[in-house]
A and B are shown apart, each in its own frame.
Chain A
Amino acid sequence: DTGVSQDPRHKITKRGQNVTFRCDPISEHNRLYWYRQTLGQGPEFLTYFQNEAQLEKSRLLSDRFSAERPKGSFSTLEIQRTEQGDSAMYLCASSTGGGYTEAFFGQGTRLTVV
């Protein structure tokens, strides 16, 4: 499978715990995005990388959220001190560089904070 892969697919955690998600983009894609989606809503932009550089970050993103893409390949999204409001589907997407290009989404990681 050469699509975008995310791990884990599901995560249940207790409030206050830290969680980390991983995204492996399509290999030749240099752009990587993280989105969050809750029921009945469209994907909400969190952050964007071009290669290893984090170029954009949503103003709505709490300081408890951090993302990395250390070698310009896979990326991790960490949420510290999780809250119930963090429960959502976390989607990763990748695209090629230059111009306006389609985003290829992974299957997502569903986070439930109890």
Chain B
Amino acid sequence: GQQVMQIPQYQHVQEGEDFTTYCNSSTTLSNIQWYKQRPGGHPVFLIQLVKSGEVKKQKRLTFQFGEAKKNSSLHITATQTTDVGTYFCAGPISGYSTLTFGKGTMLLVSP
């Protein structure tokens, strides 16, 4: 089974509210990637984190990689309806070149 856990499974926010999803791995990761999948769409790469404690920002999105490289988070400030979708974290657990995905966090934003 999958060894990357994400919480929460689902979150419904009002537009303008903040959102955070958390990702935990059973093993230390060399890197972690985040993907977004819109309803009916396919996963689209957002970002990759490699260094312990790394923090990266993309406009309203802030990504963090834990010091122990076993957890990560994605924070969205002031959500917009365009943020709707499922956010997945993924890491190379079973193989150097393959990604194990979490179950994702589905975000719904009401206007």
Show the binding face of A for B, using Cβ within 8 Å. Answer: 31, 33, 35, 40-45, 48, 50, 55-56, 58, 91, 93, 100, 102-108
Show the binding face of B for A, using Cβ within 8 Å. Answer: 2, 4, 30-31, 33, 41-45, 48, 50, 88, 90, 92, 94-95, 97-104
A48 with B2: CB separation less than 8 A: no
Residues of B within 8 A of A108 (CB): 42
- A interface secondary structure, majority: strand
- B interface secondary structure, majority: strand
User: Quick one: which of B44, B95, B101 contacts A48, CB cutoff 8 A?
Assistant: B95
Distance from B91 Cβ to chain A, minimum over Cβ atoms (Å): 10
| Closest CB pairs A-B (n = 10) | A42-B101, A102-B45, A105-B42, A100-B31, A43-B101, A105-B43, A56-B95, A42-B88, A42-B103, A42-B104
Residues of B within 8 A of A43 (CB): 43, 88, 90, 99, 101
User: Quick one: which of A48, A104, A106 contacts B45, CB cutoff 8 A?
Assistant: A104
